[in-house]
Amino acid sequence: MKRENKNALQRRLDHPTFRSYGGLILIILVVGILIALRSPNFLTTRNILNILRQISVYGILAAGMAFVIITGGIDLSVGAVAGLSGAIVAQCITKDILPFYLAVPAALIVGLAVGYLNGFLISRFNIPPFAMTLGVQISLRGACYLVCEGKPIGNLPPYMEKLGLGSTLGIPTPIYFLIAVLILSGIILSKTTFGRSVYAVGGNPQAAFHAGINSKRIITMAYCASGLLSAIAGIILTARNASAQPTGGQSFETEAIAACVMGGIAMSGGSGSIIGVFLGALLLGIINNGMNLLYISSYWQMVIKGLIIIGAILYSILSSKKK
């Protein structure tokens, strides 16, 4: 009996899923325990839900970023898309330009259009993704200031604030959006022809070409997914802050990239999963929350997060070479 249990445990430890994420799960547990020993408030239900609420925005951004990174690209415009989308919705409903049920689709279309623009120009003209999306980021940040007229947009209606600050069955509403996005993204990447094509294009573009995959179309669709999910994240961010800020979503692209890399998405493309993205976002959220509970200076927080991102990228590169 003991031998059978031992064999069953060994099979679970050897399972590819556990081997892929076992180390990350162990890091999450160790970091969580260390923070809990220093701060008794860390393991409270309220704080855990607060962590999940905090990672809801950049968790959704990271899900969109995963599509792009798996194809071998990068999208630095996600934070600006989020800020602009949230500003559009806030401006429309506070100035009675559009009702909420039309303002949201308008913002989503903007995000989708930006993603299409990025993907189309990158795939058709071989523009380096870093340069292309950086330029778009700067332009969209200026557009966000124009929409906000240089100042925060407040006085959002109660239903908008409830979207970001409300709860359903004791669970913050943004968490439901995060779960829905992660499940849908995971299904698309693992169970659909498009998802398999995303991995093929990022893993071996030449083999994908010989297999009859339209790489340009797949890359464009990956950036469209990133733009659409960025818009969703921006609307939730505005609702959570109860206002739209001209600087909304600023530097969130680094959080999204960090969550992807920490979750095992290879910067070289072709590998990774949404489960890893969630675990990476969760680890980042735990670190951010823990540093706040331990009253670590915001300046030191930036230093620590930067070092974590560098370490995660180095680990990703070394793992890719080893494979």
pLDDT per residue as tens digits for the range 51-103: 999 999 989 999 999 999 999 999 999 999 999 999 999 999 999 899 999 99
Domain assignments of the chain as residue spans, ordered by start? 52-322
Strand partners, 168: 171
- In this structure, the chain runs to a length of 323
Report the first-to-last Cα separation within the chain, whole angstroms.
37
Q: Which residue has the higher pLDDT, 41 or 4?
A: 41
Q: How far is CA 196 from CA 7, 39, 150, 213, in A?
A: 33, 44, 43, 10
Q: Are 121 and 230 contacting, i.e. CB atoms less than 8 angstroms apart?
A: no
Vertex 138: Cα angle to 135 and 139 (nearest 5): 85
- Topology of 52-322 in CATH? ABC transporter involved in vitamin B12 uptake, BtuC (1.10.3470)
Q: Which one of 178-182, 257-261, 293-297 scores highest in mean pLDDT?
A: 178-182
Q: What is the pLDDT of residue 267?
A: 85
Sequence-separated (6 or more) residues with CB below 8 Å from residue 316: 261, 264, 265, 266, 267, 268
Q: Which one of 12-16, 39-43, 104-108 scores highest in mean pLDDT?
A: 104-108
* String of DSSP letters for 272-298: --HHHHHHHHHHHHHHHHHHHHTT--H
Mean pLDDT of 30-49: 90
Q: What is the pLDDT of residue 296?
A: 87
What is the distance between the alpha carbons of residues 196 and 277, in angstroms, rounded to a whole number? 17
Q: Which one of 27-31, 108-112, 242-246, 311-315 scores highest in mean pLDDT?
A: 108-112
**pLDDT tens digits for range 97-139:** 999 999 999 999 999 999 999 999 999 999 999 999 999 999 9
Mean pLDDT of 289-303: 88
Percent of the chain with pLDDT over 70: 90
Mean pLDDT of 11-40: 76
What is the distance between the alpha carbons of residues 316 and 305, in angstroms, rounded to a whole number? 16
Sequence-separated (6 or more) residues with CB below 8 Å from residue 189: 66, 67, 70, 195, 198, 199, 273, 274
- pLDDT bucket at 16, cuts 50 / 70 / 90: low
Helical segments of the chain, H only: 2-14, 16-38, 45-70, 78-94, 100-125, 129-148, 158-165, 173-191, 193-203, 205-210, 215-241, 252-262, 274-293, 298-322
What is the distance between the alpha carbons of residues 244 and 161, in angstroms, rounded to a whole number? 11
- pLDDT bucket at 20, cuts 50 / 70 / 90: low
Q: What is the pLDDT of residue 301?
A: 84
Q: What is the pLDDT of residue 65?
A: 96
**pLDDT tens digits for range 172-228:** 999 999 999 999 999 999 999 999 999 999 988 888 888 889 999 999 999 999 999
Percent of the chain with pLDDT over 90: 61
Quote the distance between the C-alpha of residue 53 and its chain's center. Answer: 13
Q: What average pLDDT does the chain have?
A: 89
User: Quick check: 312 pLDDT over 80?
Assistant: no
User: Quick check: 17 pLDDT over 60?
Assistant: no
User: Quick check: 257 pLDDT over 60?
Assistant: yes
What is the distance between the alpha carbons of residues 52 and 174, in angstroms, rounded to a whole number? 8
Mean pLDDT of 275-290: 92
Q: Please state, as a whole number, how many other Cβ atoms lie within 10 Å of the Cβ of residue 149.
A: 11
Vertex 71: Cα angle to 69 and 76 (nearest 5): 40
Phi, psi torsion values for 153, nearest 5 degrees? -105, 110
